[in-house]
Amino acid sequence: MAKTIGKNRASASRARPAAGSGVAAGSVRDRRAGELAVADDADELENTSDADEIALDQEAAQAASRALAERPITAGVTRRPAVPQPLMGNPVTRYLAESAIELRYNVTWPVPREAWNMTLIVIAMSAFVAALLGLSDVGLIRALDWVVNLGTSAPGR
């Protein structure tokens, strides 16, 4: 005995076709109803073997991949405006027009909070690198001064 419930409460590993529902043997999903058929007897669920559950999981994965394959190819493709024909002749104007379209439609711009955080990180890293280079510059100047003054200092002083 089986009942159908919404797919949000059923797992693919527990799915069973409803008796007399016209669903092919081994099919996980009743495509006409769009719901999963699940056995309601606890004994039936406990007696299922791991191999049966793996087979049902594989069938569910195959059904999902078939559903993805049946989608139209244009699904998820965003349309963007084409470059106007007069601009296509000159490489410079074509580059500028395509760059503007790219910046408008394909770039994901940060929200103001993210932009501010990234600005603070750049300022902090710039200050760190400036301090590091300043210290190394002072150290190298002193080392060079020491090497130059080696020959000019009087011995025994």
Backbone angles phi, psi at 153, to 5 degrees: -75, 145
Question: Chain-wide mean pLDDT for the chain?
Answer: 74
Sheet of 2-5: strands edge to edge?
2-5, 35-39, 29-30
Give 37-80 as a DSSP string: EEE--HHHHHT--HHHHHHHHHHHHHHHHHHHHHS-TTTTPPP-
Which one is predicted more confidently, 48 or 14? 48
Please report the pLDDT score of residue 61 as a whole number: 83
pTM: 0.38
CA angle, 109 as apex, 106 and 115 as ends, to 5°? 160
User: Which of 7-21, 72-86, 143-157 is modeled with the greatest confidence?
Assistant: 143-157
Please report the pLDDT score of residue 105 as a whole number: 87
Hey, what are 127's tokens? 């200050």
Of the listed ranges 118-122, 128-132, 151-155, the least confidently predicted one is: 151-155
Please report the pLDDT score of residue 66 as a whole number: 77
Closest CA to 10 of 24, 28, 25, 33: 28
| Domain-wise residue ranges, the chain | 2-70, 80-107, 111-157
In this predicted model, what pLDDT tens digit does every residue of 77-115 receive, in sequence order? Answer: 566 677 778 878 888 988 998 888 888 888 898 999 999
